[in-house]
Structure 1
Amino acid sequence: MTGALAPTKPLTALDRCDRCGAQAYIRAILPVGGELLFCAHHGRQHVAALRAKGAEIQDESARLHETSPSASGKR
């Protein structure tokens, strides 16, 4: 992030992909204002073009690979 924009809040399970409605993990903040939300799949398809047009990208798709203690079944 360049620091020109206010910090963005983390994406939650309530944030949905603008293309398919799945949980959003990528936010594109457009230089003209507004934002687009994408699941990891659609984000990969569109992020390069959006970045080339000056969009700031918040990519939280690494969270898909995180495991929690409860997810592994061990305590």
Structure 2
Amino acid sequence: MSITALAEPAALTRADRCDRCGAQAYVRAVLEAGGELLFCAHHARDVEAALRPKTAVWQDETSSLS
């Protein structure tokens, strides 16, 4: 049996940009297969239902918008 520990990802900054449109990223999706995707709040909502089951970490910082 193999156990893989995932480190808590760093907080997103203003320099982190959405991979779809280039706006400021508020969501990081760390994929189980490796790699990560960054999304603005709008695009994160668009892909969440399909993408979230394939992620090891769904880091959602959209609460900082309000």
The TM tier, using the shorter chain, reads 0.7 to 0.9
Q: Which residue number corresponds to residue 46 of structure 1?
A: 47
- Within 1, Cα distance between the matches of 2:5 and 2:42? 28
Q: How many residues align?
A: 62
Superposition CA RMSD, Å: 1.3
The percentage of aligned residue pairs carrying the same residue is 63
- Relative to its length, the structure with more strand (as a share) is 2
Gaps of 5+ in 1: 66-75
Q: Structure 2 length normalisation: TM-score?
A: 0.87
4+ long deviations beyond 6 Å = none
Gaps of 5+ in 2: none
Which of 1 and 2 has higher RCO (CA within 8 Å, sep 6+)? 2
Larger radius of gyration between Structure 1 and Structure 2: 1
Q: Which residue number corresponds to residue 59 of structure 1?
A: 60
**Cα displacement string for residues 22-61 of structure 1 (whole angstroms, at most 9, x for unaligned residues):** 00000000001110000000000111211122x0200000
Q: Letter of the aligned partner of 1:30 in structure 2?
A: L
Q: Structure 1 length normalisation: TM-score?
A: 0.77
